[in-house]
Amino acid sequence: MEPITTEILVLGAGPGGYAAAFYAADKGKQVTLVEQNPRLGGICLNVGCIPSKALLHATEILRESKESAARGIAFGAAQIDLDRLRAWKIGILDKLGQGIKTLAEHRKVKVIHGRGHFEDSQTLRVETSDGQKFVRYEKAIIAVGSKPALPNAFDLGNPRVMTSTGALEIPDIPENLLVVGGGYIGMELGTVYAALGSKVVVLEALPSILAGVDADLARPVMRAAQKAFKEIRLNTKVLKMATASKQIKVTIEMDKQPRDELYDRVLVSVGRTPNLADLGLENTKVTKDDKGFIHCNAQQQTEDPNIYAIGDVNGGALLAHRATREGKIAVEAIFGEPSAFENIVIPAVVYTDPEVAWCGLTEAEAKQKNIAIKVAKFLWGASGRALTLDRPDGLTKLIIEPESERILGVGVVGAGAGELISEGVLAVEMGATARDIADSVHPHPTLSETFMEAAESFYGTATHTLSRRTAS
C-alpha cells in the first residue's frame, strides 16, 4: 500500500491538536489529522471540560430552584430524567464535534480516524476500521492528551468504581457516592452528584481540598461543600477496595486506624497520566521524564527534531487552553518563526460552587519563594451585584509587587469566577499596575467592579470598604 504523504501530521484532535492543525493549514501547509475517536475534539470535548460543564450548569439550576423560595419564588420538587439529561449533554458534544469537522473540511485538513503508532521519526502507522494506513510526514505534532489515573489497588474491573470518564456518563444516581480525591475534578463531579441527590463523601489525603489554591480562595468552596456533601474528610487515605455484592467495600485509614465502609459507587479522582502507551515512541528519538511525560523545549520540539509535543503529554498544567497555545507555538516553530512558550500566566478555573479562578503568582507561591508582595482584597459581601445574585460568598484578591505596584497575580472565588479571571490574565500579561486597574472605569453594578475595588483598597480608597484612615 502506497503511504499517505503530508507536510504536517497532527496526532490527536483535542483543543491543542485541532488548533495546531487548523493554524498550520491557514498558514499554507498540507495537514493530516489523526484521531482515534469518531468525534473530533479530544478528551476535553468528549469526556472532560465540555460534558462536565454542561452537567454543572444543569445541576446549578437544581440548586437555584431549591434556594429560590427564600427570594419569594417557590418551585415544586425537581423531576430528574437521566435519559434526557444524557441526551442533552450528547447533543452539545455532537454539535461541537460537527463544528470542528466542518472547520477541518473547510481548511482541507485530511482527517484519519484510527490509532496511531510511530514506525520511525517520519512514519506513522494508523490502525483504522479499514485496516492499516501509513502516513509519511515532514513534521509531526503529538497531542494525544491524558487519561484519569487509576491505581492498581482501586482497579477492580467493576464499573461501580469510576474515573471521571465513567462518572460523566451518569449511569445512575447512587444513594451513597465516595469521591477519592478532593482536587479539581473530584470536587466538580462531587458537586454534580450531590445536586442530583447522592450522599457524597469526599476523602482527601492532604490537609486541605484543592491543593495549590490559596487558602482564602479555597475556604468558601469548603464551606459550601460541607453543606452540599454528606462529609469531607481530610488527612484520610484509602488503603484498598473490594467488590461487596452490589456495593464497593472501601478500607480507609483515619486517625491511623483502618476501617471498612460500603458505598454504591466510588469515583477515583487522583490525577491523570499521559496517553503515551503503545505509541511507538521508542522508534523515534523522543524521550520522557521519570513521570512519563515527554521532554520538549520552549518551541515544543522534542529530542527528535521531526516531532513536537503539546498539551497534557508534556506535564505541567493539564489545561486545554495551554494545549491550544502550545499548538500554535509548535506550528510557528515549524515555520521557522521566532516563537516560544513565554506567556507569563496560564489561568486555572475550578468549576465548583462557588467557582475558583486564579492566574500568575499566588500568595502561597510568594511565601514559598520568599517574594515580597502586598495583597489587596475585596470581599463580595460589599458588592451590590453579588448581593442581587444572592452570592455574597466571593472574594477578589490582587497580588502586587510593592515597589512597582505591578499586578503579579489575581485570584477570584465566587459566582462566575471563571469568566472574571480574564481581566486578571490581561492585567498580569500586560504588566498593569494596581493604579491602572483602580483608574479603569468598571460598569456598575457588576462583579467586575470587585477588581477595581480590590485595586482601590491597595491605596486605602475603596468606596465600599473602610479606608485605611477610617479603619485606624
Q: Does the active-site annotation cover 444? A: yes
> Are the beta carbons of 130 and 79 closer than 8 angstroms?
no
Q: Which of 106, 321, 444, 464 is catalytic?
A: 444
Query: What's the pLDDT tens digit per position in 59-85?
Result: 999 999 988 999 999 998 889 999 999
DSSP, collapsed to helix, strand or coil, labels residue 428 as: helix
Query: What's the pLDDT tens digit per position in 221-231?
Result: 999 999 999 99
319-322: long-range contacts (C-beta < 8 A, 24 or more apart)? 319/346, 319/348, 320/14, 320/15, 320/16, 320/44, 320/48, 320/49, 321/15, 321/346, 321/347, 322/16, 322/346
CA distance 366 to 32: 44
- State how beta strands 131-142 and 4-11 pair: parallel
CA distances to 60, 86, 129, 460 from 51, rounded to whole Å, are 14, 10, 27, 43
- Number of neighbours of residue 113 by Cβ within 10 angstroms: 17
Phi, psi of 373 (to 5 degrees): -140, 165
- Number of neighbours of residue 431 by Cβ within 10 angstroms: 12
Domains of the chain: 4-147+273-334 (3.50.50.60), 152-270 (3.50.50.60), 348-466 (3.30.390.30)
Number of helices followed by number of strands (H, E) in the chain: 14, 22
> What is the full per-residue pLDDT of the chain (472 aa) written as tens digits?
789 999 999 999 999 999 999 999 999 999 999 999 999 999 999 999 999 999 999 999 999 998 899 999 999 888 999 999 999 999 999 999 999 999 999 999 999 999 999 999 999 999 999 999 999 999 999 999 999 999 999 999 999 999 999 999 999 999 999 999 999 999 999 999 999 999 999 999 999 999 999 999 999 999 999 999 999 999 999 999 999 999 999 999 988 889 999 999 999 999 999 999 999 999 999 999 999 999 999 999 999 999 999 999 999 889 999 999 999 999 999 999 999 887 769 999 999 999 999 999 999 999 999 999 999 999 999 999 999 999 999 999 999 999 999 999 999 999 999 999 999 999 999 999 999 999 999 999 999 999 999 999 999 999 988 765 444 3
Query: What's the pLDDT tens digit per position in 231-275?
Result: 999 999 999 999 999 999 999 998 888 999 999 999 999 999 999
- Name every residue whose Cβ is closer than 8 Å to that of residue 222 and which is 6 or more positions away in sequence: 208, 209, 232
Phi, psi of 206 (to 5 degrees): -90, 170
